[in-house]
Structure formats: structure tokens, C-alpha cells
Amino acid sequence: MTFIQGWHPVALSVSIEPGSSAGTHIGGQELVVWRDNSGVAHVWEDRCPHRGMKLSFGFVRGDHIACLYHGWQYDIAGQCRYVPAHPNLEVPATIKVPVFRTVEAAGMIWTSADADAGSPAAAGTADETVPVRSLYVDCDADELIAALKADLPAPFKGKSTATIAQLGDDLFRVATGDDTLLLGLQRLEDERAALHIVIAGPAASYAGAGQAHFLAWATALRGRLEQPAMTWPAHQAEAV
């Protein structure tokens, strides 16, 4: 699995507010995720062509993102439009940041480096979503999915046993009781992965208590993954 193929989640939509930016990784590649003031999300290479500074350290003004070092401003196509030290300069077209296709679906921001990729699997999976959390874990992505499959959540509403289905390379759906979760898997780098978790359903049903229910499950899942089960030494167990 490389970043070239398919669609990959990089954040929950709510985590990237209008006018803000954040760094992230896919397969070790550094990316900036930012949202312009009109609310459109963008995913780019996280590197200013001028001095290599991370654009995720920069600042968003209108539909431009500016580098923190020298204020070079880039439009939403990645084209440099303004160099403050040379305000009258017609900026050469070659000063451009690589940009990646970006869409929002299932309450997450998805990106692809593949110009021919169709719609992400997440498109159309849910009319409304309620965010739970992005769960960052220090382990391999496949190990994270194995742990997820071994530890599906109890329902917030209803009773039936949880099941999991894979909808795309990096998208999973968990049905538990009357509830449905969508989980986007992000392969950050070696031994570091994230699950972006949302509830498919209306805020009226899940805001607050429903979110707290699945948040507790997700955070416990991380704990079990990172800290192997404590086992009592035999002599102590016998003494109990």
C-alpha cells in the first residue's frame, strides 16, 4: 500500500477548523492539512519550496496559506502568489507546492495522490456523522486493525453483537446494536497509525453520551494495544 494508490484519511473534519493547518504523515511522507476561510480542506506536501520549512507551521489567510519563515503565500492550487520581501514581483509559475486531491466524506478528510482514483469508499456511507476521536497509536497499522477486530465495542443503543466489515482499503464499518461506526485507518509511518472514528447517525441521538460511550471504548483499545496485559506472578496469584 503506497500513498500513490487509493484514498487515505488524514483527519476528522472537525479537527481542522477554518483558517487552521496541521501536519500529518502517510507512509512517512510529510503532509499539511489545512482549511481555508471559506471552509474548503486541502492536503499538500508539507514543505515550502523556498527554504523547506513545514507549511503546517504556517498560517492561513483567506484562501492562501503562508509560510512562517518568510511569509510566502500560496493559493489553493499550491501556486506561490506573493513574496513579502519582493512585493512587486511577478512570482514565477515554477514556485509551486505539490497538492493532492482532497475530499470530505463520512466526517473525515481524505486525500489521494492518484489523479485517476474514483470516489473514496467513504463517499455516501453516511448522511450525518458524529465525531468520536482520532486515535493515534504507536504500533503497526495491521496490528491496530487486528486489535480492533478482537475488541469491537458494545452498543450504545440496542443489543445485537458487533460485526466489522471492510468497505475500502482504509475504511471499516462496525455495526453494534443499533449503532454504526465508520473508522478510517491512517498509516502514518512505521509503527505509528491512527484510526479516525465517527458514529454514523444524527447528533440528536449521539452527541454527548453516545460520543462518550465510544470514546471510552476507543481509548481503552489504545491502552490494550500499547500495554500488554498485566499478568500476576504465579506465587502472588496463588496467594490471593
User: Are the C-beta atoms of 66 and 85 separated by less than 8 Å?
Assistant: no
Which lies closer to another protein via its Cβ, residue 133 or residue 173?
133
| Least distance from another protein to the Cβ atom of residue 193, Å | 11
**Residue 136 binds another protein, judged by CB under 8 A:** yes
The reply to whether 134 sits near another protein by the rule CB under 8 A is: yes
68 contributes a contact to another protein by CB under 8 A: yes
Nearer of residues 220 and 232 to another protein, judged by Cβ: 220
Q: Which stretch binds another protein (CB under 8 A): 119-127, 132-140, 168-176, 177-185?
A: 132-140
Q: Is the dihedral of CA 228, 144, 152, 129 positive or negative?
A: positive
User: What residue ranges in the chain does DSSP mark as E strands?
Assistant: 8-12, 20-26, 29-35, 41-45, 59-61, 64-66, 73-74, 80-82, 99-105, 108-112, 129-137, 163-168, 171-176, 179-189, 192-200
Query: What nine digits make up the cell of 156?
Result: 450504545
Question: What's the grid cell of residue 53?
Answer: 520549512
Instruction: Output the smallest distance, CB 118 to another protein, in A.
Output: 28
For another protein, the binding residues (CB under 8 A) are 11-12, 15, 17, 20, 22-25, 56-59, 66, 68, 133-134, 136, 194, 207-208, 211-212, 215, 219
